[in-house]
Amino acid sequence: MSTVYACFCTDIIHEGHKNLIKKAAEYGEVIAGVLCDREMVRYNRFPTVSIEHRIRMLEDIPEISRVVVQNEIMYDKILAELKPDYVVHGDNWQGGPESAIRANVAINLAKYGGKLIEVPYTYNEEIKKIDDRIRDKLAMPELRRGRLKKLLGIVPIVKTIEVHSGLTGLIAEKTVVEHDGGLDQFDAMWISSLCDSTAKGKPDIELVDMSSRIRTVEDVLDVTTKPIILDADTGGLIEHFVYNVRTLERMGVSAIIVEDKTGLKKNSLFGTEVKQTQDTVEHFCAKLRAGKKVQRTDDFMIIARIESLILEKGMEDALNRAKAYVEAGADAIMIHSRKKDPAEVFAFCDKFRQEFAKVPIVVVPTSYNQVTEGELAEHGVNVVIYANQLTRSAFPAMEGTAKSILANHRAYEADKNLMSIKDIISLIDTL
Ligand code: SPV
Ligand code: MG
């Protein structure tokens, strides 16, 4: 009997999947693949049910004779292993980044003479509703909040991009690329104090207060499902900090990062060019302890950000503070640097890892931007934050358009660089 292989990356079996399975069974014995969590996250969205649940869900379907786990989005290994006579897939992968998977399947089937069967994808209101329901579920505070901790256990490094509005949130949510034989997307969003302030035309000195920052968080929460890490600056007065921890946790924010500075905070990338004061270890630890004490779930993370390297206080100071902050309850450490190369960050991570094998490390490679995610992960980094690149790319693009319209007294010349009206309209989801 011929064998037929179909891979599923879904949390629910709906009518469309059932149609596909029925069609597959016409060609022979059906082997179903379940895409593993790590690849689900890169390719699709975060699973709302466990892999064990997804396996059982397929095992319960009478037409399926066997279920296997597919560990890579591309089919090289699984097809070499199973050598099915047919691969069955919906025909909705012919455009966009998914077409790379289709091409990969074709190449691998050709190696041994297997065939691809494409089943017309079922589009109907019911399926759209199911899809919307999963997305809505992912956006709910209870489900979104804990996802950062879960991601830390699934992906080699949590890739986080700066967002400061609903629109930038959509970019973080929806951008998927095909490269190096796989698909990729961002795992989480960073709401930067620098970019949130800049978007409002204000300096990054805690002038944009928490009420206003929370408004930005809500705009992002409204249109996305990915976890949020909020830049909480110094956290302010301990008496205020505890209230903000409660509010942000309740909203579904996954983590806040508080930096060990005090007084008038200036952006770290100024380094020692401006007057900035580092908090005492005792006072900052008291702030961390107070925050940890008031949070109500195990999901929410308070991450301690160390400014010793920024303020040129030395590696020893950074490491001593890291130890004290972890002991005070910090869920992770962010080490910041404004050096052009990652040497001091690597040195910190290597030493920190000797003492703390499990405490996550967060980095922001803005100035040492040649470093790759792979290199950071090798030194034990768990979260990389691209902290300001969307803002910095948007500003020159907008300024260029403004200059072009002024210079030409019309918008015609600028238009070739612009997104079409049709595309900008379809970018926004409608209910
Ligand atoms: C931010 O993005 O606001 C940060 C990171 O705090 S940095 O600008 O490098 O200080
Ligand atoms: Mg900041």
Residue 156 falls inside a structural domain: yes
Provide the pLDDT for residue 320: 98
Which amino acids are annotated catalytic? 204
Output the pLDDT for position 193.
Answer: 98
Domain that holds residue 418: 393-427
The domain that holds 51 is classified in CATH as: 3.40.50.620
Nearest residue (by CA) to ligand 1, atom 7, is 268
Q: pLDDT tens digits, residue range 88-145?
A: 999 989 988 889 999 999 999 999 999 999 999 888 888 889 988 999 999 999 999 9
What amino acid occupies position 160?
T
Which of 364, 369, 391 is the best mutation target for the ligand 1 pocket, counting ligand atoms within 8 Å of the beta carbon and taking the most?
364
Domain contains 74 = yes
pLDDT in tens, 172-182: 999 999 887 78
Q: What's 245's domain CATH number?
A: 3.20.20.60
Query: Which two tokens mark 278?
Result: 């580092």
Proximal ligand: closest to the CA of 194: 1
Average pLDDT over residues 315-322: 98
Average pLDDT over residues 226-246: 98
- Which of 102, 127, 152 delimits the end of a domain? 127
Asked whether the whole model's pTM tops 0.85, one would answer yes
| CA 90 to ligand 1 centroid distance, Å | 43
Please indicate, yes or no, if residue 135 is contained in any of the structural domains: no
Token pair listed for 184: 């990729």
> 231: CA distance to ligand 2 center in Å?
6
Residue where one domain finishes, among candidates 78, 99, 127: 127
Say if residues 242 and 250 touch (Cβ distance below 8 Å).
no
Mean pLDDT of the chain: 96
- 372 and 398 assigned to the same domain: no
119 in Cβ contact with 27 (< 8 Å): no
Q: Are residues 349 and 410 in the same domain?
A: no
Residue 181 has what pLDDT? Answer: 77
Model pLDDT, residue 97: 86
pLDDT one-digit tens code per residue, 5-58: 999 999 999 999 999 999 999 999 999 999 999 999 988 889 999 999 999 999
Give the 3-state secondary structure of 222-291: HHCCCCEEEECCCCCCHHHHHHHHHHHHHHCCCEEEEECEECCCCCHHHHHHCCCEECCHHHHHHHHHHH
The pLDDT of residue 272: 86
pLDDT at position 406 is 98
- Identify the residue whose tokens are 């910041």: 336
Pocket test for ligand 1, best of 195, 200, 228, 231 (most atoms within 8 A of CB): 231
> Among the atoms of ligand 1, which is closest to the Cα of residue 259?
6
Assigned domain for 136 exists: no
| 302 has a pLDDT exceeding 90 | yes
Claim to verify: residue 161 and residue 234 sit in the same structural domain: yes
String of DSSP letters for 159-178: EEEE--SHHHHHHHHH-EEE
Ligand 2 centroid from CA 125, angstroms: 43
| Least confident piece of the model among 246-260, 264-278, 326-340, 388-402 | 264-278
Do 224 and 322 sit in the same domain of this protein? yes
In one-letter notation, the amino acid at residue 282 is E
pLDDT score of 72 more than 90? yes
* Atom number of ligand 1 nearest to Cα 338: 9
Percent of the chain beyond pLDDT 90? 87
Question: Do 306 and 414 lie in a common domain?
Answer: no
Q: Which atom of ligand 1 is nearest to the CA of 268?
A: 10
Provide, rounded to the nearest whole percent, the portion of the chain with pLDDT above 70: 100
Residues with CB under 6 Å of ligand 1 are: 192-194, 204, 231, 267-269, 364, 366, 387-388
- Let me know if residue 26 belongs to a domain: yes
Domain tally, the chain: 3
Q: Whose CA is nearest to atom 2 of ligand 1?
A: 192
| Whether residue 246 sits in one domain with residue 366 | yes
In a domain, 319, yes or no: yes
Quote the ligand 2 centre to 393 CA distance (angstroms): 18
Cβ contacts of 106 within 8 Å, gap of 6 or more: 116
State the pLDDT at residue 314: 97
**Domain closes at, from 127, 160, 186:** 127
Residue written as tokens 């951008």?
175
Which ligand ends up closest to the CA of 388?
A: 1
How confident is the model at residue 123, as a pLDDT? 82
Query: Which bound ligand lies closest to the C-alpha atom of 233?
Result: 2
Looking from the CA of residue 194, the nearest atom of ligand 1 is 3
Asked whether residue 192 falls in the same domain as residue 81, the answer is no
pLDDT for 245 equals 98
Residues in the chain: 431
Distant-in-sequence, close-in-space partners of 285: CB < 8 Å, separation ≥ 6: 324, 325, 327, 328
* pLDDT attached to residue 95: 87
Place of tokens 């190096």: 180
- 186 and 85 share a domain? no
Token pair in block for residue 280: 């005492």
Average pLDDT over residues 365-371: 98
Answer yes or no: do 112 and 162 share one domain.
no
* Residue 431, pLDDT above cutoff 80: no
Give the residue-averaged pLDDT of 406-412.
98
Structure tokens at 125: 């209101």
Cα-to-centroid distance, 368 and ligand 1 (Å): 14
Atom 10 of ligand 1, residue of closest alpha carbon: 268
Q: Do 407 and 347 lie in a common domain?
A: no
Residue 238 predicted with pLDDT over 90: yes
Testing ligand 1's pocket by substitution, the residue of 213, 366, 367 carrying the most ligand atoms inside 8 A of its CB is: 366
Q: What b/e readout covers 301-331, taking b as 16+ CB neighbours within 10 angstroms?
A: bbbbbbbbbbbebeeebbbebbebbbebbbb
428 pLDDT band (50/70/90 cuts)?
Answer: confident
Q: 372 and 406, same structural domain?
A: no
Q: What is the pLDDT of residues 336-364, one digit of tens each?
A: 999 999 999 999 999 999 999 999 999 99
Alpha-carbon span 334 to 357, nearest angstrom: 15
**Edge-to-edge strand list for the sheet holding 115-119:** 64-70, 29-35, 3-8, 86-90, 115-119
**Ramachandran angles phi, psi of 66, nearest 5°:** -155, 145
Q: Which ligand is nearest to the CA of 190?
A: 1
CA of 18 to the centre of ligand 1 (A): 48
Co-location of 255 and 286 in the same domain = yes
Residue 132 within any structural domain of the chain: no
133 found inside a domain: no
Task: Give the pLDDT score at 268.
Answer: 86
For residue range 258-270, list pLDDT tens digits in order. Answer: 999 998 888 888 8
Residue 16: CA count within 13 A, CB half-sphere: 21
